[in-house]
Chain A
Amino acid sequence: MTGTGWLPVALPVALLAVPLLGALGLVVLPHVLRPVLRAYGLVLSGVTLALAALLVATFDYERPASPQFELDVPWIPGLGLRLHLGIDGISLPLVALTALLTFLCFGYLSWGRARAGEFLRARPRALVFTLLVLEVGMIGTFLALDLLLFFVFFEIVLVPMYFLIGIWGGEGRRAASIKFILYTLLGSVVMLLGLLLIWAQTGTFDIEALAAAHGSGMARSVQILAFVAIGIGLAVKTPMWPLHTWLPDAHTEAPTTGSVLLAGVLLKMGTYGFARIAIPVLPEGALAVAPWLGALAVVGIVYGSLACLAQRDLKRMIAYSSVGHMGFVLLGFATLTPTGINGALFANVAHGLITGLLFFLAGAIKDRYHTADMTALGGGLLATLPRLGSVLTFAAVASLGLPGLAGFWGEMLALLGAFRPADGLPRGLFLTYMVIGGLGAVLTAAYFLVMLSRVTHGRPPPLPAEAEAEAVAEPRVVESLAARPVATLAHRDVRPYELLAWTPLVALILLFGLWPGLLLSLTTPAVHTLLGALP
């Protein structure tokens, strides 16, 4: 245990305990909490965010490579399960990102719908409960330093997300949620087998010890087998081509907050697993599988981009764009170089911020137009809703990887890593990956610009109310009067609560884009440590 005083130990526990106790409170005291439900979730996630901020503030930046705020106590001795939590330079940004996005989601829900009088229309208590449990799982995944504990948290996340999509989702929510949970559960089972294989070989679940051992004690074939098994589980979550098909459906049907958390945090858990477990614990396995991983990654980049190019639904397009962006992240990991993995971790965080913002925006558009179909939207968003259009332009430009915004550095470093992959990897192959990835970046720009051109440019179509009035041969006065206020309300520009939810994301995208050193100085030492055993 490092440091003195109670703070180092209490912080990670509190990060988990606050949302967990909050969720329990909803079960124990439903009637007391019902009137203050709106503030309740906001306050709890706010406290969690404050704790995360405290974590960021008290983190020892001199040694980001070693886990800090460690807690290591036996939990279920019979299973060898220990409550081993800790934070290093890799997990710190992700924990902060999770706390921030959850808080923004609560803010979006509580402030926004309150004004319109439709706060959390259906089952508000269940929604707050679901989101809090989700937060426990997400933060726990990033804190866990024990394989089994990691798996437990990894699985906890699935259930609330399933309900989030299945209850509060769109038209086809049932099929989408079932597909989501079956797909990811199946992946998790394979991953569990891989984790158990590691345990069977080394006799420990402790990630720290396993990472320090750098795979000693495991034969190469075992490592490869374990890497493939764990990799499949993580790849489903990431998602990696061709295991991605749950994602578009889940994203399209999920409510805005679900999409934001799904893209912003859940996908990161998959890639985080590569950096935390698969690569440091199984270095030889990683070396053997990396060319395949890289190949699937670049296929994902190009495939995702092409799929986006022909997509008509805005949310679906953003979902497919995640496949492409996660391809860059996986390519970075596949290079097994400090540069590439740094890039992967950076792109991870950047994608969380940018795609989170994009889904917020897509949700805002869907709220107003009741559709996310680009042809139905008809264009001219910059004329009808100039601010929303501007923020959408910003987010799209950030997502296509413009330097000076967060999206660029991760992808650039991933490509740079592929230019000179780790010794022992076929260089020519990775050069090919780099070129394909670069072309994928052009395609990424293409689909985002085409989307912007379709949605924000051009002349706006007539308002629905007017169109209706024109369509009816004998317009009845009462109807058109009734329809008009709805239309004008629906077409209001960015509202204050939306601005509050989006501004932090915009600011962070700019900050990390202009000063990438902030994140890179945090991850670089940790990356060097985790790659210790590789040649």
Chain B
Amino acid sequence: MTTFPLMAVLLPFVAAFAGLLLSRRPHRPPPASSGARAADRQAGTRAAWIAIIPTAVSAALAAWLAWDRGFAFLNNTGSGAPTGHTYGTIITGGIPISLTLQADNLSALLGVLVTLVALAVQVYSVGYLADDPRYPSYSAFISLFTSAMLLVVYAGDLLVLYVGWEIMGLCSYLLIGHWWEDRGNSRAAVKAFLVTRLGDVGFLFGIFVLGSAAGSFRVADVLAKVPEMSQATLVTATLLLLAGVAGKSAQVPLHTWLPDAMAGPTPISALIHAATMVAAGIFIVARLFPAFLAAPPTMDVLAVLAAVGMLGAALAALAQDDLKRVLAYSTVSQLAYMAGGLAAGSDTAAIFHLVTHGAFKALLFLCAGVVIHHVGSNLMTRMGGLRRELPITFTTMTIGLAALMGIPPASGFFSKDAVIAAMDDAVTAGTLTDAAALLLYGCALATVAVTGAYATRAWLRTFFGRARAVPVPLPEPPPGTAHVVDVTEAPRTMLVPVVLLAVPALLLGLAGGLHMEVGVAAVGVVLALLGAGAVYAFWRMDPLADPARLLGPLRAPCEQAFYVDRGYAALFVRPVLALARLVVRTDDTVVDGAVRGSGRTVRGLAGVLRLAQNGNVQLYVSGLLAGVLLIAVGAVVFT
């Protein structure tokens, strides 16, 4: 059993390579002109098996690892020594890197989340990308993504963790850019990689600070040394780590990549938003929570960022027309909840919300995928009245949205309640400064209402009212949209994961133990219903118009996500590009110009010297004599 974490990581890793290299082997030449498509399909089938079986085995291993521990992390019961093994160390000349893979209560819980969502996404993708010739590489990248996230979850050494952390960035780049024919998708992929990488540099430096202060990169050693570290070290380290967290978990100010990441296929959004990538940031804070707790200034920063992020993103979600962008901003907002829970001093509440959010957000994205698949567009103006055509999707998506709003008994109700209760406690006690705690608590309550509003808006505009779908010209959809199938409900490979995910989205809340605070819970539900009611009232007035108009003059800034992207483009992107052009010009004219100039000077000097070489023998002899004289004088003088 100690090798289970290693095997869980390695299986999808090997599957990724196998899927890339072996899907099209043995390479049979297509028999006829129509054979290319058949070969694609055969490769796709093979790739699907190569992808699904290892993920399933990994899920079984992760479940086994988590079996005894159960939800021990959430209930704070039993410390439980980690299960795992150290597979040697890499000497670096300084602090060594130890290759440790292990599962403790936290890792075991998240391992199950990661593998199950990944499995659901893999199965779903078989149907979603049935006709895509590039399905083999796509499924291989998902396998690699899963493996990298599991490496982050199970790593016992910070630098090993960093390896998985960065590989996820690459996978997100490859998958968001899956439909790279469209330049827009390509740009979104580049943006996702670069923004997260910017945060990752800070993260790496944070690891350096912690590691060199503790004399080891092992998580256990670092945490053991936290009490001995100086306040300054801890604040520096955690703030630097926070940069990476903000990048990966799409927190303000590095959140801008996530909404654009919608350019990828919908299952990828489910994977990125629920189980991998964005979960990593919250996870790492929980992993190193003692270090963060010992650095109150960092917690204040985290609280403020979370407060700004959750409300801003929720408002942005309310104004979006693209269904996936609604969900994307909702993810930013929900992740800010978790960050807020962490800042409030409760890692268990944050991880609880992470787990339930993983279940219901994966469900929501997969449902959205079914809807988009059906309609052939991401835009909600093109949807409407779909509850009759897609009854199963309607039911499951309703469960997902209820969980998002925090309506009992869906899972989100319990976890959100736990987070808000933690924030409530932080106002009176805890390490946060009063202002930060109050801001956090106020924003969280406001966000509950806005969440209710945008979830209701999405629900009404997608499934109710009159059908607005315009038939999309089959059979060649433009790249960037899923292939449209002419059936009422989606294929079974897509529906089965959706239905299976609906179960935890509905019931997972009961797992965390039913210790809720009635007062906070009641306030939360009332606020969510208020938001929902307001949207419903606006929708009733005119079902064809967008209820987002209730935002009034705020609507345009919300739709543009408060112009953050434009600001960054003006502040960073364009200056860097201008600087780059300047460097090229400088390199050519100044640096190389100096070289060429010296070359010309030498040639000029040579021209002067050449005057001496005029063939006049007398001149030569005089020169020679002068030289001898000089040498003789020199010899006399200097010896």
Query: Which residues on A are within 8 Å of B, measured CB to CB?
Result: 179, 182-183, 242, 244-246, 303, 306-311, 337-339, 341-343, 380, 382-383, 390, 397, 402-404, 408, 412-413, 415-417, 419-420, 434-435, 438-439, 441-443, 445-446, 449-450, 453, 456-459, 516-517, 520-521, 524, 527-528
Asked if residues A449 and B94 are in contact (CB atoms below 8 Å), the reply is no
**Which chain A positions have C-beta within 8 A of B577?**
309-310
Q: Are A419 and B212 in contact (CB under 8 A)?
A: yes
Contacts A/B (CB < 8 Å), 20 sampled: A182-B599, A245-B595, A306-B580, A307-B587, A310-B583, A343-B92, A382-B180, A390-B137, A402-B166, A403-B165, A408-B163, A412-B159, A412-B204, A419-B205, A419-B209, A445-B197, A449-B190, A456-B180, A457-B177, A527-B93
Complex CA–CA separation, A242 to B591 (angstroms): 7
Known: A457-B185, A517-B88. 6 other contacts (CB 8 A): A242-B591, A337-B94, A341-B93, A434-B205, A438-B204, A446-B194
Question: Which of B201, B591, B599 lies in contact with A441, CB distance below 8 A?
Answer: B201
B207 → chain A closest CB, angstroms: 9
Rank and list the top 7 A-B pairs by shortest CB-CB distance, nearest first: A338-B93, A339-B94, A309-B580, A310-B580, A403-B163, A457-B186, A457-B180
The answer to whether B91 has its CB under 8 Å from any CB of chain A is yes
On whether A445 and B583 interact (CB within 8 A), knowing A245-B592, A383-B181, A438-B204, the answer reads no
Distance in angstroms between the alpha carbons of A330 and B440 in the assembled complex: 46
Interface residue B198 (Cβ < 8 Å from any Cβ of A): yes
Contact at B187–A453, with CB atoms within 8 Å?
yes
Is B429 part of the binding interface, using a Cβ–Cβ cutoff of 8 Å? no
Which residues of B, 113-162, contact A by the 8 Å Cβ criterion?
137, 159, 162
The answer to whether A415 touches B580 (Cβ under 8 A) is: no
Q: Is B566 an interface residue when CB atoms closer than 8 A count as contact?
A: no
Answer whether residue B454 sits at the interface, using C-beta atoms and an 8 A cutoff: no
Residues of B within 8 A of A307 (CB): 580, 583-584, 587
- Determine the distance from Cα of A310 to Cα of B574 in the docked complex, in whole angstroms: 12
From B166, B183, B595, give the contact of A458 (CB < 8 A): B183
Closest to B159 in A: A412
Q: A402-B166, A416-B208, A450-B190 are in contact. Are A524 and B576 (CB under 8 A)?
A: no
CA distance A212 to B581 in the complex (A): 48
Instruction: Give B243 Cβ to nearest chain A Cβ, in Å.
Output: 11
Chain A's closest residue to B479 (CB) is A459
Which residues on the B side are within 8 Å of A435 (C-beta)?
205
Q: Are A310 and B208 in contact (CB under 8 A)?
A: no
Contacts of B209 in A (CB 8 A): 419
CB distance from B68 to the nearest CB of A (A): 31
Docked pose: A524 CA to B581 CA in angstroms: 40
**Chain A residues with CB under 8 A of B198:** 442
Chain A residues with CB under 8 A of B197: 441-442, 445
The listed residue (A244, A342, A434) touching B93 by CB distance below 8 A is A342
Is A183 a contact of B595 with CB atoms below 8 Å? yes
* A527 to B, closest residue via Cβ: B93
Nearest CB in chain A: distance from B477 CB, A: 15
The smallest beta-carbon distance between B111 and chain A, in angstroms, is: 20
Please measure, in the bound complex, the distance between the C-alpha atom of A442 and the C-alpha atom of B162, giving whole angstroms. Answer: 16
Q: How far is the CA of A516 from the CA of B96 in the complex (A)?
A: 12
In the complex the two chains form, is B181's CB within 8 Å of A459's CB? yes
Bound complex: CA of A419 vs CA of B91, how far in Å?
17
Does B167 make an interface contact (CB < 8 A)? yes
Give B24 Cβ to nearest chain A Cβ, in Å.
Answer: 11
A522 to B90, CA, bound (A): 11
Count chain B residues whose beta carbon lies closer than 8 angstroms to a beta carbon of A: 50
Chain B residues, Cβ within 8 Å of A242: 591
Q: For chain B residues 525-565, which have a beta carbon within 8 Å of chain A?
A: none
A404 lies within 8 A of B163 (CB): yes
Q: Is the CB of B329 closer than 8 A to any CB of chain A? A: no
Nearest CB on A from B594, distance (A): 8
Residues of B within 8 A of A456 (CB): 180
B190 contact set on A, CB distance < 8 A: 446, 449-450, 453
Asked if B173 lies at the interface with its beta carbon under 8 angstroms from chain A, I say yes
Question: Across the interface, which residues of B come within 8 angstroms of A416, CB to CB?
Answer: 92, 94-95, 208
Q: B167 contacts which of A342, A402, A443 (Cβ < 8 Å)?
A: A402
* Contact flag A449-B194 (CB < 8 Å), given A306-B583, A310-B577: yes
The yes or no answer to B404 lying at the interface (CB within 8 A) is no
In the complex, whether B337 has a CB less than 8 A from a CB of chain A is no
Given A403-B162, A403-B166: A517 touches B91 (CB 8 Å cut-off): yes
For the complex formed, measure the closest distance between the CB of A448 and the CB atoms of chain B, giving whole angstroms.
10
How far apart sit A214 and B89, CA to CA, in the bound complex (Å)? 31
- Cβ-defined partner of A517 (8 Å) among B90, B202, B212: B90
Residues of A within 8 A of B94 (CB): 337-339, 416-417, 420
Q: Tell me how far the C-beta of B154 lies from the nearest C-beta in chain A, rounded to whole angstroms.
A: 15
Decide yes or no whether B631 CB sits under 8 A from chain A: no
Q: What separation, in Å, do the CA atoms of A416 and B165 have in the docked complex?
A: 18
Question: Could you tell me if B170 and A402 are in contact, using CB atoms closer than 8 angstroms?
Answer: yes
**Contact digits for B207-229, partner A, Cβ 8 Å, 1 yes 0 no:** 01100100000000000000000
Q: Indicate whether A520 sits within 8 Å of B91 (C-beta atoms), given known contacts A403-B162, A449-B193.
A: yes
Q: Which residue of B lies closest to A244 (CB)?
A: B591
Nearest opposing residue in chain B for A437, CB measure: B201
Within 8 A of A (CB), among B91-113: 91-95
Assuming the contacts A245-B592, A245-B595, A456-B180, asked whether A445 and B193 have C-beta atoms less than 8 A apart, the reply is: yes
Expressed in whole angstroms, the minimum distance between the Cβ of A439 and any Cβ of chain B is: 7
* Chain A residues within an 8 Å CB radius of B522: none
B205 partner residues in chain A, CB cutoff 8 A: 415, 419, 434-435, 438
- In the bound assembly, the distance between CA atoms of A397 and B166 in angstroms comes to 11
Q: List residues of chain B with CB within 8 A of the CB of A521.
A: 91
- The interface residues of chain B lying within 8 Å CB-to-CB of A244 are 591
In angstroms, how far is the closest chain B Cβ from the Cβ of A176?
A: 12
Complex contact A306–B170 (CB within 8 A) = no
Smallest CB separation, B128 vs chain A (Å): 21
Interfacial chain B residues near A419, Cβ < 8 Å: 205, 208-209, 212
Q: Which residues of A contact B137 (CB under 8 A)?
A: 390
Judge if B579 is at the interface, Cβ distance under 8 Å: yes
A433 to chain B, nearest CB (A): 12
Closest CB of chain A to B297's CB: distance in Å?
A: 20
Across the interface, which residues of B come within 8 angstroms of A459, CB to CB?
181
User: With the chains together, A362 CA to B190 CA distance in Å?
Assistant: 21
Bound CA span A524–B96, Å: 11
Q: Which of chain A's residues has its CB closest to B99's CB?
A: A517
- Closest CB-CB distance, B571 to chain A, in whole Å? 15
Given A306-B579, A416-B94, A453-B187, decide whether A179 and B584 contact each other with a Cβ distance below 8 A. Answer: no
Q: Are B587 and A342 in contact, CB atoms less than 8 angstroms apart?
A: no
Nearest chain B CB to A29's CB is how many angstroms away?
Answer: 41
Check A439 against B201 for contact (C-beta < 8 Å): yes
Report B-chain residues with C-beta under 8 Å of the C-beta of A179.
595
A524 to B137, CA, bound (A): 38
B576 to A309, Cβ gap below 8 A? yes
Whether A524 pairs with B208 at a CB distance below 8 angstroms is no
Closest to A182 in B: B599
B167, B186, B212, B581 pick with most chain A CB within 10 angstroms: B186
Least Cβ–Cβ distance between A451 and chain B, in angstroms = 10
Residue in B92, B186, B580 whose beta carbon sits within 8 Å of that of A413 in the complex: B92
Q: Known interface pairs A306-B580, A453-B187. Does A397 touch B93 (Cβ–Cβ under 8 Å)?
A: no
A402 to B186, CA, bound (A): 19
